A and B are shown apart, each in its own frame.
Chain A
Amino acid sequence: MTLLALDTSTAWASVALYDGRDVLAEETWHAQRRHGDELFPTIERLLAYARKSLADVDRVAVATGPGSFTGLRVAIAAAQGIARGAGASLVGISTLDVLAYPHAHSKQRTCALLPAGRTEWYAALYQERNRKWMRRSPFIVATLPDLCRQIGTHTLFVGEMDAEAEQLLRDLLGPKAIFAEPASRMRRAGYLAELGWRALEAAPQAKLGEIEPIYVKQPSIRSSFDQPFAPVPSGDAALGLPRRS
Chain B
Amino acid sequence: MRILAIETSCDETGVAVVDDGRRIISNVVASQLAHQETGGIVPEVAAREHLRTLDAIAQTALRDAGIELRGVDAIAATVGPGLVGCLLVGANYGRGLALAAGLPFVGVNHLEGHVYANWLYEGEAAPPEPAIPAIVLVVSGAHSDLVLMEGHRRFRALGRTIDDAAGEAFDKVARLLGLGFPGGPLIEQAAKNGDPSAFPLPRGSGGDRYDFSFSGLKTAVMRLVRSLEAKGEVPVADVAASFQKAITEMLAEKTARAAAEHAVDTVLLGGGVAANLALREEIAKRIGHPLVVPPPRLCTDNGAMIGAAAFFVLRHRGTEIPTAVRSDLKLA
Which A residues are within 8 Å of any B CB, using their own CB? 36-37, 39-40, 43-44, 54-55, 57, 69-70, 73-86, 88, 207-209, 212-213, 215, 219-233, 240
Nearest residue (CB) in A for B57 is A209
Complex interface: chain B residues within 8 A of A40 (CB): 95, 99, 323
The majority secondary structure among interface residues of chain A is helix
A212: B residues at CB distance < 8 A:
48, 51-52
Q: How many angstroms between the C-alpha atoms of A209 and B35 in the bound complex?
A: 20
Q: Interface-forming stretch among B82-90, B123-131, B235-243, B291-299?
A: B82-90
Query: Contact: A84 with B97, CB < 8 Å?
Result: yes
**Which 6 A-B pairs give the minimum distances between C-beta atoms?**
A81-B96, A85-B100, A219-B44, A230-B38, A86-B100, A82-B96
> Bound state CA distance, A69 and B86, in angstroms?
11
Contact indicator B47/A73 (Cβ below 8 Å): yes
Q: Given A40-B323, A81-B92, A85-B98, check contact A224 B52 (CB 8 Å).
A: no
Residue of B nearest to A37 (CB): B324
- How far, in Å, is B55 (CB) from chain A's closest CB? 4
B112 contacts the other chain (CB 8 A) = no
How many B residues, CB 8 Å from partner? 54
* A219 to B34 Cα, complex, angstroms: 14
Smallest CB gap from B11: residue in A: A227
- A17, B171: Cα distance in complex, Å: 49
**Closest chain A residue, CB of each to CB of B142:** A225
Determine the chain B residues whose CB is within 8 A of the CB of A228 once the complex forms: 39-40, 168, 171-172, 175, 181
Return the contact of B35 from the options A74, A223, A230 (Cβ within 8 A): A230
For residue B325, CB closer than 8 A to chain A, the reply is yes
Supplied contacts A224-B84, A225-B10, A232-B42, 19 more A-B pairs, CB within 8 Å:
A36-B324, A74-B88, A75-B92, A77-B54, A77-B88, A77-B89, A77-B96, A78-B95, A80-B54, A81-B97, A84-B59, A207-B56, A209-B53, A212-B51, A219-B48, A227-B142, A231-B38, A233-B38, A240-B48
Does the CB pair B85–A73 fall under 8 Å?
yes
Q: Is the interface of B mostly helix, strand, loop or mixed?
A: helix
Given A57-B100, A209-B55, A221-B42, residue A77 in contact with residue B92 (CB < 8 A): yes
Residue picked from B38, B99, B141, most chain A C-beta under 10 Å: B99
B284 at the interface (CB under 8 A from A): no
| Min distance, Cβ A6 to any Cβ of chain B, angstroms | 9
How does the 8 Å CB contact mask read for B10-47 relative to A, with 1 for contact and 0 for none?
A: 10000000000000000000000011011111111101
